[in-house]
């Protein structure tokens, strides 16, 4: 239903649509303007042309600003370079590293890259599926990414088998549902080792060759929990906020310290995805928050971004992009938003929102407007 709503609303803020209508109503020659005015006159309801022109001007300004903002975002995230270096990428000669590539989102990414004849190295503790075992463009390395020594051994194997990687996709991650006071210390160490520390280890191992070639793409798979952490996943949210900070700092180091503007950095923030990570409480999440995203949506978005030869910050689903600005909102809006999200979390069954109903209605309206307007 949300797609049915968003598409017509999206058209009303497309500058090419509103601009075309403005031209037809105000500047077009009579042979164009007269049929448009005649069609408006035949509508089953009264339309004040002057008011319509004013509304179209506002929609055009909003849509134009939105488009310019998207372009500026892309420009900034690609080291302020206007053009991509697509000509520098020859897919059959490129080597991609995918951590956690044996299943779920990682496997989708691997399959998409193989369609372009890339060489793909999978670093995982789980074996790859049978369908990939005889593919000459795929190599599996049994690798514990919490161990720098294991990563180094895998890296040596990749260089020997395929050559130096130009793409690194840090996809592997774990999570579990529990409160802070129930958190097991051993699990806490493990989740930070996998979700955060491993990114340092893989980048230290693979980025130097990218810097030498001034060509590469590093993808950090974070989460919507980088911005909004529901109760029950404090450790997971902390790791995902951490890898967002890691990504942002890494991008600055690539640009200013290494001066290697041919090396790109992309960060991805999926919301709930139907994977093995949340299998245990998938039904509870769906009852509370609706259908989950499929792994294909996330994996394909990541592969598409890599194949575009451009860096980006990817929010999935895209209409939740506004969540990235939550920390700039007033505290009362932030807390009401967290109330709306947190009370529906499986750990908090039966909980109520503590924010007053008028506040929740205001915030709900704000969220709905952003959800429907952003495509």
Residue ending a domain, among 54, 77, 100, is 77
In a shared domain, residues 103 and 233: yes
Residues 180 and 263 in one domain: yes
Residues 151, 240 share a domain: yes
What is the CATH classification number for the domain harbouring 143? 3.40.50.720
296 and 354 in one domain?
no
Enclosing domain of residue 217:
86-322
User: Which one from 111, 140, 215, 236 is the annotated catalytic residue?
Assistant: 236
The residue annotated as part of the active site, out of 139, 215, 240, 344, is 240
Number of residues assigned to the chain: 375
- Do 199 and 158 share a structural domain? yes
**Number of domains within the chain:** 3
Question: What is the distance in angstroms between the CA of the first residue and the CA of the last residue of the chain?
Answer: 14
Could you tell me if 247 and 334 lie in one domain? Answer: no
245-296 per-position pLDDT tens digit: 999 999 999 999 999 999 999 999 998 787 766 666 666 666 666 678 899 9
DSSP character string of 95-137:
EEEEETTTSHHHHHHHHHHHHTT-EEEEEESSPPPGGGTT-TT
Residue that is last in its domain, among 13, 44, 77 = 77
Whether residue 284 sits in one domain with residue 335: no
Distance CA 269, CA 240 (A): 9
**Is the domain of 185 the same as that of 245?**
yes
pLDDT in tens, 35-88: 887 877 777 777 788 888 888 888 888 888 888 988 999 999 999 998 878 899
* 211 & 300 share domain: yes
Q: Are residues 159 and 289 in the same domain?
A: yes
Residue 270, SS3 per DSSP: strand
User: Along the chain (375 residues), what's the average pLDDT of each consecutive run of 10 residues?
Assistant: 48 81 85 81 78 86 86 93 88 98 96 98 96 96 98 98 98 92 96 98 98 98 91 93 98 98 97 74 66 90 97 91 83 80 62 60 64 51
Q: Give the residue from 39, 57, 77 where a domain finishes.
A: 77
Active site residue 240: yes
User: Same domain for 256 and 186?
Assistant: yes
The reply to whether 183 and 247 lie within a common domain is yes
């Amino acid at each position: 239903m949300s797609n049915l709503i968003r598409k017509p609303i999206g058209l009303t803020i497309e500058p090419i649509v509103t601009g075309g209508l403005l031209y037809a109503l105000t500047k077009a020659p009579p042979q164009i303007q007269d049929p448009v005015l005649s069609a408006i006159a035949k509508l089953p309801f009264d339309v004040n042309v002057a008011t319509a022109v004013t509304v179209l001007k506002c929609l055009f300004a909003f849509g134009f600003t939105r488009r310019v903002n998207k372009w500026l975002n892309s420009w900034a995230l690609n080291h302020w370079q206007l053009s991509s270096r697509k000509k520098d990428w020859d897919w059959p000669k490129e080597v991609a590293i995918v951590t956690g590539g044996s299943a779920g989102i990682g496997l989708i990414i691997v399959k998409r890259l193989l369609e372009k004849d890339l060489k793909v190295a999978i670093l995982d503790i789980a074996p790859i599926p049978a369908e990939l075992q005889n593919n000459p463009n795929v190599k599996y390395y049994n690798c514990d990414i919490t161990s720098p020594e294991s990563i180094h051994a895998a890296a040596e194997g990749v260089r020997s088998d395929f050559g130096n990687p130009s793409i690194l996709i840090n996809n592997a991650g774990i999570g579990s549902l529990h409160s802070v006071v129930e958190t097991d210390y051993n699990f806490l160490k493990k989740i930070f080792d996998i979700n955060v520390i491993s990114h340092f280890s893989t980048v230290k191992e693979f980025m130097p060759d990218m810097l030498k070639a001034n060509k590469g793409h590093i993808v950090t798979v974070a989460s919507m929990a980088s911005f909004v952490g529901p109760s029950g996943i404090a450790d997971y949210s902390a790791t995902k906020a951490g890898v967002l900070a890691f990504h942002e700092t890494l991008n600055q180091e690539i640009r200013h310290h290494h001066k290697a503007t041919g090396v790109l950095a992309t960060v991805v923030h999926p919301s709930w995805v139907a994977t093995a990570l949340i299998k245990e409480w998938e039904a509870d999440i769906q009852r509370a928050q609706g259908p989950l995203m499929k792994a294909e949506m996330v994996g394909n978005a990541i592969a598409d971004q890599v194949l575009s030869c451009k860096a980006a910050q990817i929010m999935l689903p895209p209409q939740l992009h506004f969540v990235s600005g939550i920390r700039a909102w007033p505290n009362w809006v932030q807390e009401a938003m967290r109330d709306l999200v947190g009370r529906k979390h499986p750990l908090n069954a039966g909980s109520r929102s503590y924010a007053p109903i008028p506040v929740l209605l205001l915030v709900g309206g704000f969220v709905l407007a952003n959800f429907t307007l952003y495509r």
